[in-house]
């Protein structure tokens, strides 16, 4: 983050002189909670380096000793991990890309345009969030079977089978609508006066301003799609099409799990997200303030 | 005369053309929702009035599934547990989120690191989080050890019907409040500082600044957090499945857990009825919230 | 009008989808290619995970034997295998052969998801009557509504695993009756260590005590609860006694995997199935020679639940004849031995169980041949009643046992209350 002077103009920060005692208290609170936040995740990370016998050692070892890469090797030899990874990347990228575009478009309409039935339609979309996904499993699967009969490129056991139901998410529309409402109407009005169509406005005015917010949407959507288990597990049969969470589940059998490889599989699966977040977290936070920033 | 008649027509047609782009923009969302969400939801609606096992033809039973549900003690307990979970979670989560956001909003160094730390649990899949916490909350796990240091006796948190639900709730709050933190933090940073300057000039205390500048400015964000949060919390499932399987003694059985149970028993009619009861509850709550919060939006 | 056209198309598409989905029911495929030698691909699902008896080499062996059949074999994760099977059968898109946990049988069989194997097989398995390949208990477990709905592939019964090293050290005799078991537990315990694992919330563990006390779950025609008898009371008292005496450790879901307790010594005895032999060897190799297996002690007669894995063919499978060929192949001796070799589980056919490979002395268990114990237990094991409400009944019983173990209710009232609930479930079934 930049110097205090530059940031004050961006928005409110109580960056002025804090009494030393308060500063210390704030840091202490932040550090303690951070430890609480990271701790359990650290345990997964540490366990992924423990040899099989040590996984359940009591008292639990904080630092793996001895440590081994065997669990990571196992993940790659026991499962076609690279294949799962690629599948996850393809499917998740498609879902994220489609959502960012279409959710924002719809959100723009709901946030900034007036049309009959606006509130009702939005509420109808919101309703779809209120039904647990399990109930949709069977009908949705049947639709996929149908699609597969129409074309072998669609439906069951294809990328489209995973991507299509998730390509537009109401949560995303809600999120974007929330931020787009704070864009000053004047900007849009002046564009309209200049003769721009709504599509033009979306492309040339909204997208640029909302880019950071769209990055936020991208991260949330990525999270959901990357970790999704239930639907991909049902719609995909072939091992070659599986995504990471579904593939990793193969390490379990009945009530027992191979803890070591499961931990390392988890670390490998979570790593991309954490990396992306670390890289983008600045934009991510900034992004949530889309448009509201002074002119 | 002809003008008076022509005018309305032109106005209608003009208005039509004006709203057309709006409909075009929402069309993909609407169509996609219809095909992949509304059709399945409609099927479930139909099945909720039948006995259906997925294979044989559905057998119409009218409202029987619903009346059975409302007199089923296990379902009612599930409903009660879920309500407790939501009240606890949505009572504490957003508060923690706001507090953390306020903390992080201070000009502290390493802000990026702290933000990542808070968001880390949100980024990890619920199943992993639940698995980890299950081990931590063990009778001989770290949590009890640490509590022992402070003098609190060890307890079988997940194995005791009176503490299991709270323990699962704590895990969920831990995992989820990073989301609220991030959302509130962004909102805080978008409050124009002139508002605070003006308040200072008027001699407002820190508390008054919070109450009269910060909170009102956060109103739409609070609305979003609560609406989405309540919809999500009511559907809690993954943590329950991993940590307690609805026990002990049904003390952590939630509505969606009940639904999946019936689903696995191939009782799709009953499962659908559970889903619709949930839908009615959530729709009502959301409607009320939207009225409350967005009145002045 | 550019507005209505897309809408009209959408509406028509929706109607088409609805109409099609309504009719996409589960009609069995018309093709019956048995003996016609036309190339056929069958889909086979198993949930063994990576340690599967359905190894690529095994599959290839089948394809070599039947060159016109190609096998699309997929390992399906255990977690959602049940759901996946139900959903795909319901949508008319099922596998041809799938592994079934025997505890899923009541639900699936009573809803008609399985093909009739008696009919499909003509009563023959690999050239001999089916009855020749299985024990009586297994045959009963494979039957629903008068026909076979599954072919048992691996089996699960409970026996007693105990710390033989400590038994020897402390001069404890291997218990054969309940009283001896309680005495042995008392001698074995050392503070917080070496207790008997008491699993409170499922019917697998408690039901064995019910059977051992001469009780049964339901009456012979499965219309009424029968576990609220003296046998049930005795079973609850017996299980509780370990907790009351301090010789037992309560191991609920929240405790997680019992491997941890085994390794650090909290558990000195436990009762579980044959696959724990493999688990111990993998997870606790340092305990080699410490453990041994014995028949679970009983009061009236030896008893255990009988479970395991079966191979089933969905009622609407695309290629049932070929599926049956594959099923038979997996039940041949080499493949059955593979069940133990690869998955560490116990094969279900008597031929495999009596084979020399499976009856070698096992160094991990101090030179004992542990399979003999399980084989023995299998002949006295009882499978769960196949009623459509079994999974609800299972949950009710589990809750009841848990409640009594946690001290939240007294045995007799708990039994009575649960019996009443179960009777309701059976009536509304």
Structural domain boundaries in chain A = 18-71, 74-287
Look up residue C229 and give its two tokens: 């008898």
| C97: DSSP letter | E
Q: Is the pLDDT of residue C427 over 60?
A: yes
- A67 to chain C nearest CA, in Å? 17
State the Cα angle at A288 between A114 and A37, rounded to 5°.
140
Residues 6+ apart with CB under 8 A from A293: A10, A11, B190
Q: Is the pLDDT of residue A4 over 60?
A: no
Identify whether B52 is part of a domain. Answer: no
Say yes or no: C67 and C215 in one domain. no
pLDDT digits (tens, 9 = 90+) for B1-45: 444 444 455 556 666 677 788 888 899 999 999 999 999 999 999
Identify whether B86 is part of a domain. Answer: yes
Say yes or no: C201 and C59 in one domain. no
- C285 to chain A nearest CA, in Å? 8
Distance between alpha carbon C279 and the CA centroid of its chain, in Å? 16
Higher per-residue pLDDT: C132 or A12: C132
pLDDT digits (tens, 9 = 90+) for C278-321: 888 877 888 898 999 999 999 988 988 888 999 999 999 999 99
Q: How confident is the model at residue C36 (pLDDT cuts 50, 70, 90)?
A: low
* pLDDT recorded at residue C32: 45
Residues C166-189, mean pLDDT to the nearest whole number: 92
* pLDDT recorded at residue C331: 94
- Does residue C17 belong to the interface with chain B, where contact is any CB pair within 8 Å? yes
Say yes or no: C168 and C258 in one domain. yes
Of C17, C86, C200, nearest to B39 by CB-CB distance is C17
Q: Is the pLDDT of residue A285 over 90?
A: no
Least confident of A117-131, A187-201, B24-38, B63-77: A187-201
* pLDDT recorded at residue A17: 54
Say yes or no: B101 and B144 in one domain. yes
DSSP string, C206-223: HHHHHHHTT--SB-TTSS
Higher per-residue pLDDT: C265 or A53: C265
DSSP string, C159-184: EEEEEHHHHHHHTPPPP-BHHHHHHH
**Cα distances (angstroms) measured from residue C63 to each of B295, C126, C151, C329:** 69, 17, 21, 10
Say yes or no: B25 and B105 in one domain. no
Q: Is the pLDDT of residue B236 over 50?
A: yes
Residue C146 three-state SS: coil
Choosing among C76, C82, C91, C201, which should be mutated to test the A contact, i.e. which has the most A CBs within 10 A?
C91
Say yes or no: B117 and B249 in one domain. yes
Identify whether C287 is part of a domain. Answer: yes
* pLDDT recorded at residue C19: 44
- Does residue C85 belong to the interface with chain A, where contact is any CB pair within 8 Å? no
* pLDDT recorded at residue C3: 44
Choosing among A237, A239, A252, which should be mutated to test the C contact, i.e. which has the most C CBs within 10 A?
A237
Q: Is the pLDDT of residue B272 over 80?
A: yes
* Top-ranked range on mean pLDDT: pick from B4-8, B16-20, B247-251, C131-135: C131-135
Quick one: CA dihedral B82, B86, B87, B92, positive or negative? positive
Say yes or no: C263 and C335 in one domain. no
Q: How confident is the model at residue A253 (pLDDT cuts 50, 70, 90)?
A: low
Higher per-residue pLDDT: A184 or C147: C147
Say yes or no: B186 and B285 in one domain. yes
Residues C103-130, mean pLDDT to the nearest whole number: 91
Decide if A251 and C24 are in contact by the 8 Å CB cutoff.
no
Say yes or no: C269 and C120 in one domain. no
Residues A230-235, mean pLDDT to the nearest whole number: 90
When divided into structural domains, chain B yields a total of: 2
Q: How far apart are CA B284 and CA A83, in angstroms?
A: 45
On chain B, the residues whose CB falls within 8 A of the CB of C89 are: 54-55
Q: Is the pLDDT of residue A60 over 50?
A: yes
- A55 to chain C nearest CA, in Å? 9
Decide if B23 and C3 are in contact by the 8 Å CB cutoff.
yes
Please provide the CATH number assigned to the domain covering A74-287.
1.10.3720.10
* pLDDT recorded at residue A286: 59
Of C18, C82, C256, nearest to B264 by CB-CB distance is C82
Quick one: CA dihedral C197, C200, C202, C206, positive or negative? positive
- Does residue B204 belong to the interface with chain A, where contact is any CB pair within 8 Å? no
Higher per-residue pLDDT: B128 or A137: A137
Least confident of B40-54, B57-71, C253-267, C356-370: C253-267
Q: Is the pLDDT of residue A263 over 80?
A: no
Decide if C260 and A250 are in contact by the 8 Å CB cutoff.
no
On chain B, the residues whose CB falls within 8 A of the CB of C10 are: 31, 34
Evaluate whether C133 touches C350 at the Cβ level (below 8 Å): yes
Residues B257-278, mean pLDDT to the nearest whole number: 92
Identify whether C2 is part of a domain. Answer: no
Q: How far apart are CA C24 and CA A143, in angstroms?
A: 9
Token match 């005791």: residue?
B160
Domain CATH code at residue C34? 3.40.190.10
Look at residues C6, B222, B295, B235 and name the one whose alpha carbon lies nearest to residue A119.
B295
Residue C346 three-state SS: strand
pTM value is 0.82
Exposed/middle/buried for residue B217 (C-beta within 10 Å: 0-12, 13-18, 19+): middle
Residues C141-155, mean pLDDT to the nearest whole number: 92
Q: Is the pLDDT of residue A292 over 90?
A: no
Say yes or no: B77 and B25 in one domain. no
Domain CATH code at residue B110? 1.10.3720.10
pLDDT digits (tens, 9 = 90+) for C249-283: 888 766 667 887 888 888 999 999 888 888 888 77
Identify whether C373 is part of a domain. Answer: no
Q: How confident is the model at residue C8 (pLDDT cuts 50, 70, 90)?
A: very low
Residues 6+ apart with CB under 8 A from B18: none
* pLDDT recorded at residue B176: 86
Of A102, A114, A182, nearest to B29 by CB-CB distance is A102
Say yes or no: C204 and C75 in one domain. no
Look up residue C87 and give its two tokens: 């959903």
Tell me the sheet residues that pair with C249: C197
Identify whether B55 is part of a domain. Answer: no
Dihedral in degrees, nearest 10, Cα atoms B55, B56, B57, B63:
-90
Question: Domain limits at B152?
Answer: 68-294
Q: How far apart are CA C266 and CA B278, in angstroms?
A: 43
* pLDDT recorded at residue A180: 83
Question: Domain limits at C248?
Answer: 159-305+388-428
Least confident of C54-68, C327-341, C390-404: C390-404
Say yes or no: C58 and C42 in one domain. yes
Q: How far apart are CA C375 and CA C362, in angstroms?
A: 15
Higher per-residue pLDDT: C200 or B42: B42
- Does residue C68 belong to the interface with chain A, where contact is any CB pair within 8 Å? no
Q: How confident is the model at residue A258 (pLDDT cuts 50, 70, 90)?
A: low
When divided into structural domains, chain C yields a total of: 2
Evaluate whether B122 touches B175 at the Cβ level (below 8 Å): yes
Say yes or no: C51 and C125 in one domain. yes
* pLDDT recorded at residue A245: 85
Residues B73-93, mean pLDDT to the nearest whole number: 94
Residues B213-236, mean pLDDT to the nearest whole number: 88
Look at residues A26, A41, A5, A2 and name the one whose alpha carbon lies nearest to residue A277.
A41
Relative to beta strand C381-382, strand C304-305 is: parallel
* pLDDT recorded at residue C429: 57
- Does residue A200 belong to the interface with chain B, where contact is any CB pair within 8 Å? no
Decide if B220 and A178 are in contact by the 8 Å CB cutoff.
yes
- What is the ipTM metric for this complex? 0.79
Say yes or no: C127 and C95 in one domain. yes
Q: Is the pLDDT of residue C337 over 80?
A: yes
- Scanning B58-117 for CB atoms below 8 A from A yields 100, 103-108, 111-117
* pLDDT recorded at residue C177: 92
* pLDDT recorded at residue B75: 93
Say yes or no: C90 and C215 in one domain. no
* pLDDT recorded at residue A57: 59
pLDDT digits (tens, 9 = 90+) for A61-70: 677 777 888 8
Residues 6+ apart with CB under 8 A from C273: C156, C157, C158, C159, C307, C346, C374
Say yes or no: C218 and C138 in one domain. no
- Nearest-10 crossing angle of helices B164-189, B111-123: 140
Identify whether C270 is part of a domain. Answer: yes
Look up residue A116 and give its two tokens: 């009959």
Residues C340-367, mean pLDDT to the nearest whole number: 87
Q: How far apart are CA A168 and CA A176, in angstroms?
A: 12
Q: Is the pLDDT of residue A93 over 90?
A: yes
């Amino acid at each position: 983050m930049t110097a205090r002077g530059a940031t004050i103009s961006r928005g409110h920060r109580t960056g002025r002189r804090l009494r030393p005692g308060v500063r210390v208290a704030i840091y202490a609170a932040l550090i303690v909670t951070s430890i609480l936040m990271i701790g359990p995740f650290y345990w997964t990370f540490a366990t992924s380096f423990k040899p099989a016998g040590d996984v359940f050692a009591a008292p639990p070892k904080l630092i793996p000793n001895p440590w081994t890469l065997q669990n990571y090797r196992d993940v790659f030899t026991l499962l076609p991990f690279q294949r799962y990874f690629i599948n996850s990347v393809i499917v998740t990228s498609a879902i994220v890309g489609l959502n960012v575009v279409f959710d924002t478009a719809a959100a723009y309409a709901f946030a900034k345009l007036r049309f009959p039935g606006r509130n009702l339609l939005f509420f109808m979309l919101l309703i779809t969030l209120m039904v647990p996904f399990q109930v949709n499993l069977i009908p949705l699967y049947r639709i996929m079977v149908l699609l597969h009969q129409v074309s072998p490129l669609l439906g069951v056991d294809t990328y489209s089978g995973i991507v299509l139901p998730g390509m537009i998410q109401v949560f995303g529309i809600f999120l974007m609508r929330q931020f787009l409402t704070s864009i000053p109407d004047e900007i849009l009005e002046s564009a309209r006066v200049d003769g721009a169509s709504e599509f033009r406005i979306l492309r040339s005015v909204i997208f640029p301003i909302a880019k950071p917010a769209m990055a936020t949407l991208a991260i949330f959507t990525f999270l959901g799609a990357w970790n999704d288990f239930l639907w991909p597990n049902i719609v995909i049969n072939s091992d070659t099409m599986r995504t990471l969470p579904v593939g990793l589940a193969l390490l379990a059998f009945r009530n027992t799990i191979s803890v070591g490889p499961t931990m390392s599989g988890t670390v490998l699966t979570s790593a991309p997200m954490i990396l992306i977040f670390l890289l983008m977290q600045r934009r991510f936070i900034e992004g949530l303030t889309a448009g509201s920033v002074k002119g | 005369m002809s003008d008076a008649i022509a005018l309305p027509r032109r106005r209608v047609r003009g208005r039509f053309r004006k709203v057309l782009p709006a409909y075009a923009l929402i069309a993909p969302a609407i169509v996609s929702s219809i095909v992949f969400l509304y059709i399945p939801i409609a099927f479930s609606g139909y099945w909720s009035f039948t006995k259906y096992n997925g294979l044989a033809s559905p057998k119409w039973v009218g409202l029987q599934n619903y009346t059975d549900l409302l007199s089923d003690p296990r379902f009612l307990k599930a409903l009660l547990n879920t309500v407790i979970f939501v009240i606890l979670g949505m009572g504490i989560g957003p508060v923690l989120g706001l507090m953390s956001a306020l903390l992080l909003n201070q000009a502290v160094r390493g802000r990026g690191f702290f933000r990542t730390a808070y968001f880390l649990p949100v980024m990890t899949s619920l199943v992993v989080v639940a698995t980890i916490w299950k081990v931590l909350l063990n009778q001989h796990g770290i949590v009890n050890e640490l509590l022992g240091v402070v003098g609190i006796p060890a307890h079988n948190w997940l194995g005791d019907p009176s503490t299991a639900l709270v323990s699962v709730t704590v895990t969920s709050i831990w995992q989820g409040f990073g989301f609220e933190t991030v959302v509130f933090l962004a909102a805080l940073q978008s409050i124009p500082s002139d508002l605070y300057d003006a308040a200072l000039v008027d001699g407002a205390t820190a508390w008054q600044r919070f109450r009269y500048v910060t909170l009102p400015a956060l109103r739409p964000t609070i609305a979003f957090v609560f609406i989405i949060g309540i919809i999500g919390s009511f559907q809690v499932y993954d943590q329950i499945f991993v940590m307690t399987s609805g026990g002990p003694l049904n003390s952590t059985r939630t509505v969606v857990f009940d639904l999946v149970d019936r689903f696995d028993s191939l009782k799709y009619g009953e499962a659908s009825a559970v889903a619709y009861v949930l839908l009615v509850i959530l729709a009502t709550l959301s409607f009320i919230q939207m009225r409350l919060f967005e009145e002045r939006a | 009008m550019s507005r209505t056209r897309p809408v009209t198309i959408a509406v028509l598409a929706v109607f088409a989808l609805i109409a099609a989905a309504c009719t996409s029911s589960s009609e069995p495929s018309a093709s019956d290619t048995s003996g016609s030698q036309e190339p056929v691909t069958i889909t086979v699902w198993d949930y063994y995970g990576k340690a599967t008896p359905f190894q690529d080499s095994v599959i290839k062996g089948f394809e070599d034997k039947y060159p016109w059949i190609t096998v699309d074999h997929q390992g399906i994760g255990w977690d959602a295998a049940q759901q996946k099977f139900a959903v795909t059968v319901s949508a008319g898109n099922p596998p041809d052969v799938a592994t079934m946990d025997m505890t899923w049988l009541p639900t699936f069989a009573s809803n008609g998801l399985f093909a009739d194997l008696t009919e499909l097989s003509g009563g023959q398995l690999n050239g001999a009557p089916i009855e020749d390949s299985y024990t009586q208990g297994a045959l009963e477990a494979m039957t629903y509504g008068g026909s076979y709905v599954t072919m048992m592939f691996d089996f699960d019964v409970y026996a007693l695993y105990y710390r033989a090293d400590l038994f020897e050290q402390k001069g404890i005799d291997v218990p054969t009756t309940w009283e001896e078991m309680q005495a042995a537990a008392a001698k074995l315990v050392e503070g917080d260590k070496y207790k008997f694992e008491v699993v409170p919330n499922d019917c697998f563990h408690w039901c064995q005590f019910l059977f051992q006390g001469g009780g049964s779950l339901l009456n012979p025609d499965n219309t009424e609860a029968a576990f609220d008898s003296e046998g049930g009371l005795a079973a609850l008292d017996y299980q509780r006694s370990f907790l009351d005496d301090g010789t037992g450790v309560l191991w609920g879901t929240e405790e997680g995997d019992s491997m941890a307790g085994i390794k650090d010594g909290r558990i000195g005895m436990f009762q579980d199935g044959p696959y724990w032999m493999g688990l111990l060897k993998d997870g606790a190799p340092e305990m080699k020679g410490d453990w041994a297996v014995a028949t679970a002690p009983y009061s009236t007669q030896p008893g255990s639940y009988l479970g395991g894995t079966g191979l089933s063919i969905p009622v609407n499978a695309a290629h049932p004849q070929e599926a049956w060929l594959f099923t038979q192949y997996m039940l041949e001796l080499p493949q059955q031995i593979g069940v133990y070799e690869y998955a560490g589980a116990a094969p279900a056919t008597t031929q495999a169980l009596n084979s020399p490979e499976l009856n070698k002395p096992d160094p991990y268990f101090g030179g004992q041949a542990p399979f003999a114990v399980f084989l023995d237990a299998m002949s006295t094991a009882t499978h769960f009643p196949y009623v459509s409400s079994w999974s609800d009944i299972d949950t009710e019983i589990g809750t009841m046992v848990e409640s009594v173990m946690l001290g939240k209710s007294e045995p007799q009232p708990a039994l009575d209350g649960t019996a009443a609930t179960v009777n309701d479930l059976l009536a509304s079934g």
